[in-house]
Structure 1
Amino acid sequence: MKLKLVAAVVVAVVVASSVVYYRAGATSTEPRLLTATVTRGPVVETVEATGTVEPVDTVEVGSQVTGTLKTLAADFNDIVKRGQVIATLDPASLEAQLQQAEASVRRLEAEVESARVQVKDAEQKQARAEALARDQLLAASDLDSARITTEVSRAALKSVEAQLVQARASLEQSRVNLGHTIITAPVDGIVLSRDVEVGQTVTASLETPTLFVIARDLGTMQVNASVDEADIGRVQVGQPVRFHVDAYGDDEFGGTVSQVHLQPIVEQNVVSYTTEIKVPNTGLKLKPGMTATVSIEVARDDDALRVPTAALRFNPSAEVLAAFGKQKSPSAQSSAASNAIVQPASLSRSSGERQEDEERSSTTASSRAAVWRLDDGGVERVPVELGVGDGTSSAIVGGRLEEGAEVVVGQPSVAAGAATGGSSGSPLLPSFPRRGGRGAPRGG
């Protein structure tokens, strides 16, 4: 009796399997749909940009006088203190100039003394001439001559005194120039670059030559990111930033937007704006000049009802609606033309015309966005209102869509369907390819 029962069960299973295989084969020509689940989770909208890691503050150290570099007391990566000697120039020529200036000052000081004596002598002669003229013992012409001699002497004194002032100024400049042969660090910091060698001639003309570049502090760096003009309106001071550099692979660094430059940068008709991002450089891993791939967080929803962006782009064909459109009662069929599921007026137009309509009304696209939800074996169009989007998922802030719902994200390609051999029994489920293939995407 037991053997007969087992045999009957085996026969029933074989028959049922045959029926399922037959039905699967019969429906293999029907369209298939890829679905994803509506979930809750964070959605972060970002603006992408690239930039360069730079020190927050750098100082270029140059030479204010021309000379030959005599010594170097600092090199790459050296830590220096304010006032520390980092290089010297050969002072020989400037010392000679100083001696010449000192000699010129001493000579002019002597000439001033001589001029003063001459003025005093001329004034005394003029006084005697005036006394004699009062007694009518001296001709008027001789009195005029004495007076002129006095005026000339005084003018000569003023001229020599002016030359002395100029010579003293030249002397002071010579002393300053001699002092400039000793080059010191203007700030505390670290030497980033050294652009000279011992024995090299440094020429100070209209532009001061750069000998060293010193960074004040590498503990805090900044990324100068170039943000496209289409995105700059959403970037504000204080927004958090995440970025990567090639040197550290998947390591992620954080920072904050500190300034957005108003001056545009135009390259090949592309307009961008420099955005400064302050970055703590713990461990001094970041080095000047590194290229950074930046993501600036412009909006965030930590508990969003989210759907894949592909679900918002899905637009069912007439074939899909015919296979999965929800059946209507006779009383409801008269209003099918305005029904949100079928929309025969929209389907009668080409896909290009529908896309053109969407572009013309892009300003209200978020209020008219929709997804197609699986419901009782069919698909139903559900209008939704969009919030934050990150390119992969979008937040739903309004509409009749709940967590856990299944939404359609697309259809498998013909090649993928052929690879499955039509073995799936339900056209609503994704086809599972053979070994080496990919399954359907799931939301999450």
Structure 2
Amino acid sequence: MKRTIIVVAAVAVAAGGAWFLHFKGGGKRRDPAARAVEAKLGPIEQSVDATGSVAPMNRVEIKPPVGGRIDTLLVDEGSLVTSGQIVAWMSSTDRAAILDAARAMGPAEFKKWQDAYKQTPVVASLPGEVILRNVVVGEAVSAGSVLFAVADTLIVNAQVDESDIGKIKIGQKARIRLDAYPDRPVDGKVYDILFEGKNVSNVITYGVKIRPGKLPPFFRSQMTANVSFLVARKEDALLLPAAAVSDMPGGKRAVSLTPGPDGKPVSREVTVGLETDDQVEILDGVAEGDKVLLPQGRYVAQKAPESSPLSFMSGRKVDRSEGAAPKPKKPASAAGR
């Protein structure tokens, strides 16, 4: 019984201490205070973002004029070629068979038939860079085999959502970032907007082609690209963090200025201009140097309870007999059996 009383008393003391500490500060709970930021002049860019990939503007496959065997390769992937340049030499099927037979007859016989049957050249039909070599020396090929692929230049094909396609124009500036080289942006311009859209999972997108201003050496066909199309830019715009501007009923926007003489924040309607995920341009309602609150927290009054955690001890007496074993009942008298 004594042990039960001690445990109950310890719990009551602990609860009372917690109650006292919680409300010692005047019945207020402090959340993180709101932080003030200053409206400043600076540059802002509004853009449309899209994803795409690197691809050749024009891609031409080089195929042999006849079936036969490859004798010599003169270019490799990354080589620059001109239109009409010989990229490989080959023997036709007949020449290859004759030379194989002549080789067994000795060097003189081989030289005789080698001079009699000339090699066949394989020629590039497009100036550009070799982006694919699909053959080795000695390989037998048919007239339809793809030996090389040549691209005149590399571009970026981006897919723009239909809700944003109206903001894209021919000649518009764009910034390209490859997943493989995210810290090496490349500037380019839009040179083509496709008329036919694509429907993928009920999302309509339109193809937009971007030509880099200067093709970097690290561009490779099929690389994933992230493109930002520059819609508008201002150099000396009055800027606030986007979190400082609140949406109001009726499509209005407002900010909370630092507390006035009465100690309360002042709400003021503003007119906004360009917007990004991080910044908002303020056209009217706030001046340079004004301090605006970011809604990060506030003081919240908390009502203290009418009674402390010790109240469960009041209002009734603690029966010191609680927890004791029940008294045994008297046995029935023998007469009642």
TM class, shorter-chain normalised?
0.5 to 0.7
| Residue 229 (structure 1) aligns with | 162
Would the aligned equivalents of 2:238 and 2:288 in 1 still touch at CA under 8 Å?
Answer: yes
Would the aligned equivalents of 2:131 and 2:150 in 1 still touch at CA under 8 Å?
Answer: yes
| Residue 410 (structure 1) aligns with | 295
How many residues matched?
Answer: 254
Which residue, 275, 280, 288 being the options, matches 1:389? 275
Q: Secondary structure at the match of 1:310?
A: helix
Q: Secondary structure at the match of 2:243?
A: helix
Instruction: Report the aligned-residue RMSD.
Output: 3.2
Distance 1:68 1:36, change over 3 A: same
Which residue, 108, 127, 143 being the options, matches 1:188? 127
Distance 1:30 1:91, change over 3 A: closer
| Residue 103 (structure 2) aligns with | none
**1:210 has 2:146 as partner:** yes
Q: Which is greater in Rg?
A: 1
User: Which residue identity does 2:137 align to in structure 1?
Assistant: V
User: Which residue identity does 1:191 align to in structure 2?
Assistant: V
Larger proportion of strand: 2
CA distance in 2, matches of 1:179, 1:309: 74
| Residue 14 (structure 2) aligns with | none
Sequence identity percentage: 31
Distance 1:65 1:387, change over 3 A: same
CA distance in 2, matches of 1:26, 1:179: 104
CA distance in 2, matches of 1:40, 1:250: 27
Would the aligned equivalents of 1:64 and 1:180 in 2 still touch at CA under 8 Å?
Answer: no
What is the TM-score when the length of structure 1 is the normalising length?
A: 0.51
Would the aligned equivalents of 2:88 and 2:121 in 1 still touch at CA under 8 Å?
Answer: yes
Q: Secondary structure at the match of 1:230?
A: coil
Would the aligned equivalents of 2:56 and 2:155 in 1 still touch at CA under 8 Å?
Answer: yes
CA distance in 2, matches of 1:371, 1:384: 7
User: Which residue identity does 2:39 align to in structure 1?
Assistant: V
Q: What is the CA-CA distance between 1:79 and the residue it aligns to? A: 2.8
Would the aligned equivalents of 2:92 and 2:119 in 1 still touch at CA under 8 Å?
Answer: no
| Residue 83 (structure 1) aligns with | 84
CA distance in 2, matches of 1:225, 1:305: 32
Q: Secondary structure at the match of 1:233?
A: helix
Q: Secondary structure at the match of 1:86?
A: strand
Which residue, 256, 260, 269 being the options, matches 1:372? 256
Larger proportion of helix: 1
| Residue 29 (structure 2) aligns with | 29
What is the TM-score when the length of structure 2 is the normalising length?
A: 0.65
| Residue 258 (structure 1) aligns with | 191
Q: What is the CA-CA distance between 1:27 and the residue it aligns to? A: 8.4
Q: What is the CA-CA distance between 1:282 and the residue it aligns to? A: 5.6
Q: What is the CA-CA distance between 1:47 and the residue it aligns to? A: 1.0
Unaligned 5+ segments in structure 2 are 1-23, 98-116, 300-337
Would the aligned equivalents of 1:63 and 1:180 in 2 still touch at CA under 8 Å?
Answer: no
